Amino acid sequence: MERRTEARNPRARGLSSMSTREILELLNDEDATVPAAVRRALPEIERAVELVVASLAKGGHLFYVGAGTSGRLGVLDASEMPPTFGVDPEMVTGIIAGGDHALRMSIEGAEDKPLGIRDLSPRFRPGDVVVGISASGRAPYVVDAVANAKADLHAAATIAITFNATSELARAADVAIVVDVGPEILAGSSRMKAGTATKLILNMLSTTAMVKLGRTRDDLMVDLRPTNAKLRERAIRMVAAEAAVPADEAERRLERWGWHVRAAIEDRWPGA
């Protein structure tokens, strides 16, 4: 049976003969269907978030495991957590088949080796959570990590993000987030709609988890690390607005508290 992620999209017939505008409109129309497809998976995403929050609240860690585009998206989301939410860099970790070199260069054969659990093991602790990401749901590297995380590493939970409901990955996980985005405009190129959906889901998982863990003040990133001029300006604006003080006083507070936004708003160190 042809996998949904490999099927040809009938709307793309004659793609090579289309004008530039026609191709762009077709791509845009197809991309516009992705959020609705993700929305249909909200019950599973909700369950996944609750499992992640339960683990992190007890000092656990979150691991994304993927290959190719899926792996790169996992590493991207993980890398954004420390500057955005001020968490320890090891709280959320992205692991990609082929190692860091695969972030820049395509190492397609890496996903065929069932070595996910090997790469996961050195950093994993009982009670951590594993999220396996594979568009087809059949990448041996990813399936290996998810299928063996509970038995070998005593994971608190395993989660799958995939676009194939009947895949090994979907069957192996405690919670399977399965999204049907339909065939890609370029047959089998899951970096497109499947990649977009993966990014949306990862945004939901990590952002909602951090909000539930108290790493924001409503919609404000009060635990961000203002490490450049843009972020320092943002920090000053947040403190000025939340503490109802002029910008110069906000900056003085930030300097007094080592540019810790939450502390500057409250004018005291957290926990004091």
Residues identified as active-site: 80, 111
CB atoms within 10 A of CB 147: 22
In whole angstroms, give the CA distance from residue 57 to residue 222.
19
Taking the C-alpha atoms of 170, 70, 127 and 90 in order, what is their torsion angle to the nearest 10 degrees? 180
What is the spatial distance between Cα 95 and Cα 215, in angstroms, rounded to a whole number?
24
Asked if residues 55 and 131 have their Cβ atoms less than 8 Å apart, the reply is no
Q: Is the Cβ–Cβ distance between 161 and 133 less than 8 Å? A: yes
Which helix (H) or strand (E) segment holds residue 233: the answer is helix 229-243
Nearest to 130 by CA among 89, 170, 83, 93: 93
Nearest to 65, CA basis, from 54, 57, 73: 73
Secondary structure letter of residue 13 according to DSSP: T
Contact 139, 108 (CB under 8 A): no
CA distance 261 to 255: 10
